[in-house]
Structure 1
């Protein structure tokens, strides 16, 4: 987080009277997710006189940036000069990722760029401090070495005119290695800037002595100074305070462990909830898909049922016509059968009479009997042929009658099958309707 706003001409805001704060990167809890987004926090309308815990009026807007954006990180330092924000150091997701690269963000177009520097930059480190010094120089102090995980008390200077890294010679009693400390730049009576260091962490909490780093000459000779030499009482109090701080740190570590465990539980619960939501969503999608498939099957079944009913109506009509024709044909056959029977009744005596005539012996001397025999011989073949035709007609009539009966029986069987098919389809249709209504309920 870096404050670049101010009040009126005394500030460094992009617009006069604007009071803003740029928020960059950091870590998001409880997921421990590193970020590299940019937000503008405007707190110019906050009522600082309010006694409430939550105050209104602040606005926070996320900005869209471009260019060579830094990777997500935390523990970096920043400074603002020439309407640009500079970012250096920090911890990334990958421990071996180098963070000793200088990035700058232009306030004009919100575009990131990597600054090409000369000289030897400090190793990758995090939780250090930086401040704008004299003669367009930036001074960096302390931090946690990302490779060795040890605190450092190194001092590095970056000249902004040519972006040259250097390490000045230091004199005096140096401040101890530390990170997570506080620092600020102040001006003395001679308008010379000095860096003030306070607090921080090493293996334990560092002392709360103020350490001042100032420049003694133009050759970048830096000298450390402690504001007050501690007395024996102060040393004893400091030792007791250190023990208390150490105990408090242990308690804080235990609380952090508990918090970490709770975070893990929350993360696990969140993952389980997401998994449950995904399964629920999948089940809902499958259920919706099944419902759509059932509706489609129901529609197809309805269409088939309607088509089958139309076909059955046509079949019933044809069967009815066929029955009428068969009935008419049966009537005609019966009439023909009666006629044939009558003819047969006439022909049988005639046939018997003709047979007797053929069996009679004729007197060859009698002219009448000779003529009668000649007449019988002439009609004999005709009578035999008529009798054969009569027999053939009776045979055909019998076959036609049998064929008609077979056709009627087949029609009745087909009609029964179609009736059973329609009944079965109606049952399936009613069952699907019932299942669909139950699922909808």
Structure 2
């Protein structure tokens, strides 16, 4: 259990669950408008908390687990080594580097060699042609993938997961909910060309050249609901709800633990930073 610390309720953070079912909660925004650099881990099997070293504060970032058990945080590009409890910052390069943004999503590509980011927000909504990027996690070079099937409008504060061969983007802000689907589907099976689609085919596995299936949690997507099966829509909603449940579950235990420790010495590890902190 965490000792002699004070954990406040937070928002604007992402939850990452590793292969050992440990839930990582990093940073976030306190209700008093402070950003934190705390890293707390909930062992969901033993229902115990631990506290680890953290780097600078981050909020409204994107994060995902990598094959080497590092967690990549994209606002700045930070790596957290879950095995050795070490942080590192990576300098990135490439012909196409994404602009400063927040409220984006990050997933691991099917080949396990790159992460895909989508959406986010600057002072305005991201241009659809600049909403989708790949980051090679070996060279840390950015690129814009070739995409067919039309350009989906960018969004922010959404969720994204990998189901089968699809990057499933769900809900969020920045789109017209009366005429646009809450769910978007991006076929990422072919690294040479991604494809926006409105058809979800759960019977089609990823290609043999893409053996790494990174996602621990589901979600689903498309642009026209009429082309999506009830099962696909259910998968997307369940995936998003799973994230919400995980965060609610963690917040509940934070709250209960906090109530039991109010008389202990309080140690706050917060740093004030500008609201527009996140940048790639």
> Aligned residue for 1:126?
102
Q: Taking structure 1 as reference, are residues 63 and 209 closer, same or farther at Cα in structure 2, changes over 3 Å only? A: closer
Deviation string, structure 1 residues 233-265 (Cα, Å, up to 9, x no partner): xxxxxxxxxxxxxxxxxxxxxxxxxxxxxxxxx
Q: What's the CA shift for 1:230?
A: 5.8
Q: Taking structure 1 as reference, are residues 163 and 230 closer, same or farther at Cα in structure 2, changes over 3 Å only? A: closer
CA RMSD of aligned residues (A): 2.3
Q: What's the CA shift for 1:79?
A: 1.2
Deviation string, structure 1 residues 192-245 (Cα, Å, up to 9, x no partner): x22112221117657444321114745x222111247467xxxxxxxxxxxxxx
> Aligned residue for 2:114?
137
Alignment partner for residue 125 of structure 2, among 150, 160, 174?
Answer: 150
**Which runs of 5 or more structure 2 residues have no equivalent in the other structure?**
1-13, 200-222, 227-280
> Aligned residue for 1:199?
171
**Which runs of 5 or more structure 1 residues have no equivalent in the other structure?**
6-11, 14-18, 46-57, 90-100, 188-192, 232-441
Is the 8 Å Cα contact of residues 154 and 175 (structure 2) preserved in structure 1?
no
Is the 8 Å Cα contact of residues 152 and 179 (structure 1) preserved in structure 2?
no
Is the 8 Å Cα contact of residues 213 and 224 (structure 1) preserved in structure 2?
yes
What does 1:187-226 correspond to in 2, within 5 Å?
Answer: 187=164, 193-202=165-174, 205=177, 207-215=180-188, 217-218=190-191, 220-226=192-198
Q: Taking structure 1 as reference, are residues 60 and 204 closer, same or farther at Cα in structure 2, changes over 3 Å only? A: farther
2:39 counterpart of 1:63? no
In structure 2, how many angstroms separate the alpha carbons of the residues matched to 1:204 and 1:230? 14
- More helix as a share of residues: 1
In structure 1, how many angstroms separate the alpha carbons of the residues matched to 2:73 and 2:198? 29
- More strand as a share of residues: 2
Deviation string, structure 1 residues 400-439 (Cα, Å, up to 9, x no partner): xxxxxxxxxxxxxxxxxxxxxxxxxxxxxxxxxxxxxxxx
> Aligned residue for 1:40?
41
Q: What's the CA shift for 1:134?
A: 2.3
Is the 8 Å Cα contact of residues 22 and 42 (structure 2) preserved in structure 1?
yes
Deviation string, structure 1 residues 292-325 (Cα, Å, up to 9, x no partner): xxxxxxxxxxxxxxxxxxxxxxxxxxxxxxxxxx
Q: Taking structure 1 as reference, are residues 60 and 180 closer, same or farther at Cα in structure 2, changes over 3 Å only? A: same
> Aligned residue for 1:80?
65
Is the 8 Å Cα contact of residues 27 and 33 (structure 1) preserved in structure 2?
yes
Deviation string, structure 1 residues 116-138 (Cα, Å, up to 9, x no partner): 32213211111111111122121
Is the 8 Å Cα contact of residues 77 and 87 (structure 1) preserved in structure 2?
yes
In structure 1, how many angstroms separate the alpha carbons of the residues matched to 2:125 and 2:159? 18
2:12 counterpart of 1:3? no
| Greater RCO (CA < 8 Å, at least 6 residues apart) | 2
SS at match of 1:74: coil
In structure 2, how many angstroms separate the alpha carbons of the residues matched to 1:203 and 1:131? 21
The two structures have a TM-score, normalised by structure 1, of 0.39
Q: Taking structure 1 as reference, are residues 204 and 213 closer, same or farther at Cα in structure 2, changes over 3 Å only? A: closer
Rg bigger for which structure? 1
Deviation string, structure 1 residues 362-413 (Cα, Å, up to 9, x no partner): xxxxxxxxxxxxxxxxxxxxxxxxxxxxxxxxxxxxxxxxxxxxxxxxxxxx
